[in-house]
Structure 1
Amino acid sequence: MDVQNRIRDILSQTIQQDYLGQNGDVSEQDILQKLRQQGVVDDLLQQIQFSGGQQASGGRPATHFVDREDKLTQPPGRKVNIDPTRRYLYFQIKGGKAFLEHIDESDPMPGQVTSFFTFHIHFRGQRFKSRPIPCACDPEIDEGFLLELHKDGSGEAGKMADATTMLSICDPVHVVLIKTEISGETTLVSSNFFEWRPVLVSNGARMTMLLELKGTGNENKVSAGVIDISLEIFPKPNKTFTQDILTAQLSLEKSRQSERERLFLVYAKQWWKEYLQIRPAHQDRLVKIFAQDENCINRPVCSYVRPLRGGRLLDSPRHAARFVNLLHHERVQALGGGSKPEQWTTMHAFLCRNRGDCEDHAVLLCSLLMGFGLDAYVCVGTKAKGAVHTWVVTVSLDGTVTFWESLNGHRYIHQPINPDAPPLDKQHRPKYPYKTVGCVFNHQSFYANNQPTDFVEVCQFDLQNEAHWKSMSQDALLSVCGVGASPLWPSLPPLCSSTLDPALASNDLEQQLRVLVYEHRRDLGLTTVWDDQLSYLLTPALAAYEMERVTGITAGNEEWQDSIKQDVLDGHTFKGFPIQFTHRNARRGFATCLKSSRCEEIINCRGDHVRLGVRVKVFSYPESACATWIMFACKYKSIL
């Protein structure tokens, strides 16, 4: 706007015309009045972009997990408060290049729905999420993340990290790139651990560079794309290091971790040799000591698990089980045929994608149960049809053994069968789907099944009994899996609260379903009359269904049945159909409902005085996971 020159011209003109030759100073109020009359103040107010207002879509700041395109509770936007006594790393992603899978995609038209990228950042317990970025060969990103550097030591957390402290912070910045399709399906494009400390030896504690993002799984050697990033330390440290000091520090950390891993590998080989000497059949048991992550890096399985507290986001172990089972289950896809590829996704990448395989679910559930103080372990074994599977087991002080299925939230009490006892009736057979168990582990323990048979139904879970379970040395495990033992391996991220407004999302989805039912019945030549009171009366049933999924307890059923009987007149018939989804796509949900003969019978209901009802209730959980309950109902006059 060239504000300074405009103000200078107005001041000069005002003094020459109105105050020339007068004694005394020109008052500030007079000058402001002249500026208002000339329109300068109004122009300024229109041009200034206040933080917290509606910003241009291209310059929106990165936010703490706020999906601006959804039905959300919008937190008030405001400037980030920077504590001048703390040190920060400003990590900026300027733009992207060479995302060749999207070379044919053109810039979307305004309002056009397209697939999009989302960048997720995790650094020392801090998580950030970028705005949705339309997929393109050269995407325009322009996102910045302010990462706080701090010291972990007791009593030192309030001090500003000095140069020496920052040099010793070996936590990498975890950059996860997620692609979301138009249908809502998510794909893990890249999971990159970025070493940020070269900025400490750069001029002015600021540097720019190109970062190549590799693919995941079988494509971990292939470039997914390149991002242009810049790093800057605030405030700038007084002391700087030479490149030689940084190189020496990084080499020392890498050699220490390599030595720890080498010694553990030597120990694991010897331990495995001793295990095979006990019984040759142990060769065929599923004793999983190492697993590959999404970047094909072999790590001890114990390093994937660590006690994780949900803060105030989860109220009980059963709420944790419900949350984990709402995360989408998807097997790792392989190019071509053959056996299933192995991939144990790191926790941050799994939560960002919101979907993963049974191993990812079991590791997350075990970590949460340990956070609630339970003695929990991940089990590796097979299901009834021989497929490799993982689940969670907890052992109480009184010896009660409980299986937790992370994919559906079911719990099973394990009562081992005495193989020497008489044959059992079919009704006494175990209800759980597990067939064999090879090993169990958590963050500091690893036990291999040492019993004559590995069938779950006869297995004793007295883990301290060396005759039944062969354990690894806890010291050996902690040397590579303990806190701080292998800093180059990723730490567990904190859970993020849901940004979903359940009431708003429920109402929106319900209105969409009403339109879909109206159009469906219109195509069949049927009229549609909605009964709002009937729809409202379905609410307690949906709340009871969700409570039953969480706690296993059914409550309020008598009151709900009584309310329905009061509403349905004599001679009329009531029918209802409840169903639950883990998404909020109206058309997808409606198409699935129509596949059920019971639901189709309700929606296509013909007769006298037909009244339809539909109720949607969305229950939100951390990480934007949700349980969407839908219930269709109808009442009509029976014709005998």
Structure 2
Amino acid sequence: MRAYSGSFDSQEDEKLLQAAEKYQAECLLRFPSRQCLPTVIDINGKTVFVTRYVKPLNPPEELLQLYANNPQATSELVARYVALIPFLPDSVSFAGICDLWSTSDQFLDLLAGDEEEHAVLLCNYFLALGKKSWLLIGNAIPEGVTAYVLTWEQNQYVIWNPRSGCSYGQYDTFCPLQNVGCLISGDNVWFNIQQYDSPLRINFDVHKPKLWKPFFSRSLPFPGLSSVQPEALFYPRADEAAALELQGRLEKILKEKIMDWRPRHLTRWNRYCTSALRHFLPLLEENRGKDIEDDHQAELQKQLGDYRVSGFPIHVPFSEISPLIEAVYTTGVHNIDVPNIEFALAVYVHAYPKSVLSVWVYVASLVRNR
């Protein structure tokens, strides 16, 4: 969330703030391009020490029960849940603007936030699941300055992108995180003072003072700052009926749009293909879109033997309908101008606790084989 910066008052005592300013200045003097973030501004415009945001918080119980005996699957599901909370793109930045940090309960009530809110919530969930986790501030492609989550599990460091829900091993070259400025836990901030800042080349062991400059240390011990987070998070259950109603409404609107975009042509809908797609979309949600695409294409092709089918699924976290219309429009399906072409469109809305919605749209065109 963004807001104007005026003169800010603070939650913290003067001494701590002066120490934070001095620490930040020293860090940035040595490595001006690295992110150093000892304090942030809360949504009341007060300066808050960043460690107060990091604290174990309970994920929705429904998510924990789904794979009760599989911690890895649970972690992935929790990361997916966080990634499904809509992003509020930062308003076009201009001078005098600064980032405002909302707490995890404020973020879930708003159901919108930027990278920091997503990363804080994911980090706090992982802490509640018993993982060693840190908030990581650095740069990534394409976001630029951003917040990720770092965990230590099965004897390796894992980097989580809260925006996509994907995780990467430290040496994974596909990881979008380009460099690391600082790590934050519930009781300290560490600035990276190593020669390198690419995740592939750094040592993440914060206990090495030659590699990481801690904010709290023997000379300035951690004063036991209380958290700004709530004691616990509360989640209304997933509303299946509302999801079903939304699903019907979206399908109707998107079909009408496709017909509007083809004003000079008759748009024929293939009911059989639509129903095949309807069965398929919940499987995509269940498997989080992984590895089932190709099998399905083959299966669909078999069922619709007389047709050549082309199409693909679109997946979005749901906040409003316009991005969805946009996404269907960009597929260009409506531009296909072949004699006797038919279309199919199916929507699936999966409801999670606290009104978090995952929306799938499958749009396809079918041409009868001669």
The alignment's TM-score, normalised by the length of structure 2, stands at 0.82
The CA deviation at 1:386 is: 9.2
- 2:58 aligns with 309
Contact 1:607 1:637 in 2 (8 A): no
The CA deviation at 1:507 is: 2.7
In 1: Cα distance, 2:344 partner to 2:270 partner: 6
- 1:351 aligns with 108
- 2:67 aligns with none
- 1:291 aligns with 40
Higher RCO, 1 vs 2 (CA within 8 Å, ≥6 residues apart): 2
- 1:580 aligns with 315
Contact 2:187 2:222 in 1 (8 A): yes
The CA deviation at 1:434 is: 2.2
- 1:463 aligns with 206
2:266 to 506, 526, 530: 526
The CA deviation at 1:480 is: 4.4
In 2: Cα distance, 1:585 partner to 1:439 partner: 35
In 2: Cα distance, 1:548 partner to 1:593 partner: 22
2:334 to 552, 577, 600: 600
- 1:261 aligns with 13
In 2: Cα distance, 1:516 partner to 1:538 partner: 19
The CA deviation at 1:584 is: 6.7
- 2:88 aligns with 330
- 1:321 aligns with 79
Letter of the 2:51 counterpart: C
Letter of the 1:435 counterpart: Q
Distance 1:413 1:442, change over 3 A: same
Contact 1:495 1:622 in 2 (8 A): no
Contact 1:573 1:638 in 2 (8 A): yes
The CA deviation at 1:302 is: 0.6
The CA deviation at 1:380 is: 1.0
2:124 to 352, 367, 374: 367
1:481 to 220, 225, 239: 225
Between 500-509 and 320-329, the greater mean CA deviation after superposition: 500-509
Contact 1:509 1:584 in 2 (8 A): no
The CA deviation at 1:628 is: 0.7
SS in 1 for 2:137: strand
Contact 1:348 1:492 in 2 (8 A): no
| 1:73-117 deviation digits (Å, cap 9, x = unpaired) | xxxxxxxxxxxxxxxxxxxxxxxxxxxxxxxxxxxxxxxxxxxxx
The CA deviation at 1:272 is: 6.1
Letter of the 2:185 counterpart: N
Contact 1:310 1:495 in 2 (8 A): no
1:554 to 280, 291, 306: 291
- 2:69 aligns with none
CA RMSD of aligned residues (A): 3.3
SS in 1 for 2:61: coil
Distance 1:566 1:354, change over 3 A: same
Distance 1:534 1:480, change over 3 A: same
In 2: Cα distance, 1:372 partner to 1:491 partner: 17
- 1:75 aligns with none
- 1:403 aligns with 159
In 2: Cα distance, 1:525 partner to 1:611 partner: 11
- 2:246 aligns with 505
Distance 1:396 1:472, change over 3 A: farther
**Pairing 1:536–2:275 present:** yes
2:186 to 436, 443, 453: 443
Contact 1:327 1:355 in 2 (8 A): yes
Letter of the 1:511 counterpart: K
Distance 1:555 1:343, change over 3 A: same
| 1:368-417 deviation digits (Å, cap 9, x = unpaired) | 1111111111111223579322111111251x1111111122211112xx
Distance 1:554 1:543, change over 3 A: farther
SS in 2 for 1:380: strand
In 2: Cα distance, 1:332 partner to 1:584 partner: 16
The CA deviation at 1:285 is: 3.2
- 1:217 aligns with 3
SS in 2 for 1:411: strand
**Pairing 1:568–2:304 present:** yes
SS in 2 for 1:465: coil
Contact 1:434 1:456 in 2 (8 A): yes
Q: Based on CA coordinates, which of the two structures has the bigger radius of gyration?
A: 1
Distance 1:633 1:385, change over 3 A: closer
The alignment's TM-score, normalised by the length of structure 1, stands at 0.50
Distance 1:436 1:567, change over 3 A: closer
| 1:575-608 deviation digits (Å, cap 9, x = unpaired) | 22321222375565234312223x234xx45323
Aligned residues: 356
In 2: Cα distance, 1:547 partner to 1:386 partner: 28
In 2: Cα distance, 1:307 partner to 1:474 partner: 23
In 2: Cα distance, 1:629 partner to 1:509 partner: 10
Distance 1:481 1:540, change over 3 A: farther
The CA deviation at 1:541 is: 3.6
For structure 2, the 5+ residue unaligned runs are 65-73
- 1:623 aligns with 354
In 1: Cα distance, 2:300 partner to 2:3 partner: 53
- 2:70 aligns with none
Distance 1:364 1:588, change over 3 A: closer
What fraction of aligned residue pairs are identical, expressed as a percent?
20
The CA deviation at 1:624 is: 1.4
SS in 2 for 1:296: coil
SS in 2 for 1:328: coil
In 1: Cα distance, 2:323 partner to 2:89 partner: 21
In 1: Cα distance, 2:37 partner to 2:325 partner: 42
The CA deviation at 1:295 is: 1.7
Contact 1:393 1:403 in 2 (8 A): yes
- 1:122 aligns with none
In 1: Cα distance, 2:361 partner to 2:123 partner: 30
Contact 1:392 1:405 in 2 (8 A): yes
| 1:552-591 deviation digits (Å, cap 9, x = unpaired) | x424853x34542332234x31122321222375565234
- 1:612 aligns with 343
Letter of the 2:285 counterpart: E
In 2: Cα distance, 1:635 partner to 1:504 partner: 27
